[in-house]
């Protein structure tokens, strides 16, 4: 019986189960449902805003009006029209980003910590063995 190989396989099975369960539990947070609004202001500037589903078009318009990025774009395009001024400014409201890093950290750190802990314990326990004479 090879304990080392058996425990490593057990760790691999637990790791796959951990990653699968964290993915299933956080799937809705990773890929939220969103809505897109294409808005045009009186000066003809267009904005494409991605919002969470529960945000209304009037709230998206309020977000556009309060955005510093929109003000900078208006100043730039009103002063000297550039080719990109005809394109819509693409924006995302807070709460719509699907950031994968928290999922990666939550699913990777515990299994790696367990593996490191196993190797550290093995190293410590090996120091208690009797030396061969």
Q: Is the model's pLDDT at 27 over the cut of 80?
A: no
Among 110, 100, 90, 2, CA closest to 46: 90
Angle at 15 between CA 9 and CA 19, to 5 degrees: 150
Q: Is the model's pLDDT at 98 over the cut of 60?
A: no
Band of the pLDDT at 11, cuts 50, 70, 90?
confident
Three-class SS state of 46:
strand
Summarize pLDDT for 117-129 with one digit per residue, the tens. 988 888 888 877 7
């Amino acid at each position: 019986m090879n304990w080392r190989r058996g425990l490593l396989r057990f760790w691999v099975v637990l790791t796959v189960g951990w990653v699968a369960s964290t993915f299933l539990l956080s799937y809705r947070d990773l890929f939220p449902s969103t809505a897109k609004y294409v808005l045009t202001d009186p000066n003809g500037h267009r904005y494409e805003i991605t919002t969470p589903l529960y945000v209304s078009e009037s709230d998206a318009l309020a977000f556009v009006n309060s955005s510093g990025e929109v003000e900078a774009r208006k100043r730039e395009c009103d002063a000297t029209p550039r080719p990109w001024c005809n394109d819509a400014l693409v924006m995302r409201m807070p709460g719509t980003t699907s950031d994968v890093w928290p999922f990666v950290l939550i699913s990777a750190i515990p299994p790696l910590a367990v593996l490191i802990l196993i190797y550290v314990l093995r190293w410590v326990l090996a120091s208690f063995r009797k030396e061969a004479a």
